[in-house]
């Protein structure tokens, strides 16, 4: 393939077990391409959608990272862990879940919907003083982190099979689903942890469109799942341009167009993504160029 033909986004259905880095390494071997990165990690115990940016499409990763995400999650009541998920050590137990009604549960879940200030888990990839929180936590040096703003768009109860709770949610990037399990437990007065997690969508891309990790070496399966750079940034405003403007952008020059637009946009020539631009009135300034 040429430089641009081998550029795109490959949605992969990660199984529980391997790290996101493991998936990237396997894709590099299978596709014969070193330039592969992902748009947001999944914890090893979680499964589901992982977006791999391949070739020069690694340059659009930052425009995919902040998209909304959807999950199917399972929370177990009655046991709290030091990581807030099933990978950690149990630190507190309670049989209090036996006294809970489904109305109690639905009320606690409803309180998690909307704009929230969420306390990140002690075992997280956030950096404090240049060190990852999970490393500090393992050494008993993890400081209490300030809550951060997150958005929970929807949260729907799927099943209540005591002590397990299955729910679907859509949320902003940066939301910790295990923190939701922890906080719901605190609201109910019983310890809780996240016992299973599957990411089902990122933006407009569904896990049903993804290639299985075992099929990364299957050219036809990869072709079916492959997303062009232009389609991958379909959530950005699109600005049609001509060949002359495309040439100017390709050389890093700002250009003037007739229609005024503001913000980040995709400059498009035919069916090809030419550049990601910052639009300021009638001026387009290239930020990422792909031709």
Q: 221-257 pLDDT, tens per residue?
A: 999 999 999 999 999 999 999 999 999 999 999 998 8
End-to-end CA distance of the chain: 15
Look at residues 252, 257, 248, 217 and name the one whose alpha carbon lies nearest to residue 10: 217
43 is catalytic: yes
Residue 279 has pLDDT above 80, yes or no: yes
pLDDT (mean) for 131-150:
64
Reported as a pLDDT band with limits 50, 70 and 90, residue 4 is very low
Q: What is the CATH number of domain 238-289?
A: 2.30.130.10
pLDDT (mean) for 186-213:
97
Say if CB 118 and CB 176 are below 8 A apart: yes
Q: 147-187 pLDDT, tens per residue?
A: 899 999 999 999 999 999 999 999 999 999 999 999 999 99
Q: Where are the alpha helices (DSSP H) in 89-157?
A: 102-110, 133-138
Catalytic residue, chosen from 13, 43, 85, 183, is 43
Residue 123 has pLDDT above 80, yes or no: no
Question: Which structure tokens are listed for 59?
Answer: 């340059």
Which pLDDT value is given to residue 2?
A: 37
Domain 8-67+203-232: give its CATH superfamily: Pseudouridine synthase (3.30.2350.10)
10 Å CB burial of residue 218 (0-12, 13-18, 19+) is middle
Q: 6-57 pLDDT, tens per residue?
A: 799 999 999 999 999 999 999 999 999 999 999 988 999 999 999 999 999 9
CATH topology agreement for domains 69-202 and 238-289 = no
3-state secondary structure of 168: strand
Given 3.40.50.720, 3.40.50.12780, 3.30.2350.10, 3.60.21.10, which CATH number is that of 69-202? 3.30.2350.10
Reported as a pLDDT band with limits 50, 70 and 90, residue 3 is very low
Q: Count, in order, helices (H) and strands (E) of the chain.
A: 7, 17
| Residue extents of the structural domains in the chain | 8-67+203-232, 69-202, 238-289
């Amino acid at each position: 393939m040429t430089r641009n033909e081998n550029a795109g986004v490959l949605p992969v259905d990660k199984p529980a077990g391997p790290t996101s880095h493991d998936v990237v390494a396997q894709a590099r071997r299978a596709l014969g391409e070193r330039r592969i990165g992902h748009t947001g990690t999944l914890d090893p115990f979680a499964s589901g959608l992982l977006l791999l940016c391949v070739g020069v499409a690694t340059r659009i990763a930052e425009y995919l990272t902040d998209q909304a995400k959807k999950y199917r999650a399972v929370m177990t009541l009655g046991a709290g862990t030091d990581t807030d998920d099933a990978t950690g050590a149990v630190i507190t137990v309670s049989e209090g879940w036996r006294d809970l009604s489904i109305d109690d549960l639905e009320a606690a879940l409803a309180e998690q919907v909307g704009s929230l200030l969420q306390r990140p888990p002690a075992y997280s990839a956030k950096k404090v003083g240049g060190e990852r929180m999970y490393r500090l936590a393992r050494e008993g040096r993890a400081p209490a982190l300030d809550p951060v703003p997150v958005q929970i768009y929807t949260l729907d109860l799927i099943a209540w099979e005591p002590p397990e709770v299955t729910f679907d949610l859509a949320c902003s990037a940066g939301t910790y689903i295990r923190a939701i399990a922890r906080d719901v437990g605190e609201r109910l007065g019983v310890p809780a942890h996240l016992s299973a997690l599957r990411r089902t969508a990122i933006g407009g891309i569904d896990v049903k469109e993804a290639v299985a990790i075992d099929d990364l070496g299957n050219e036809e399966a990869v072709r079916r799942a492959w997303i062009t750079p232009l389609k991958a940034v379909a959530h950005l405003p699109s600005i049609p341009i001509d060949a002359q403007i495309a040439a100017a952008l390709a050389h890093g020059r700002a250009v003037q167009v007739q229609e005024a637009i503001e913000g980040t946009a995709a400059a498009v020539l035919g069916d090809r993504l030419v550049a990601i631009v910052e639009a300021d009135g009638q001026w387009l300034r290239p930020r990422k160029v792909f031709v």
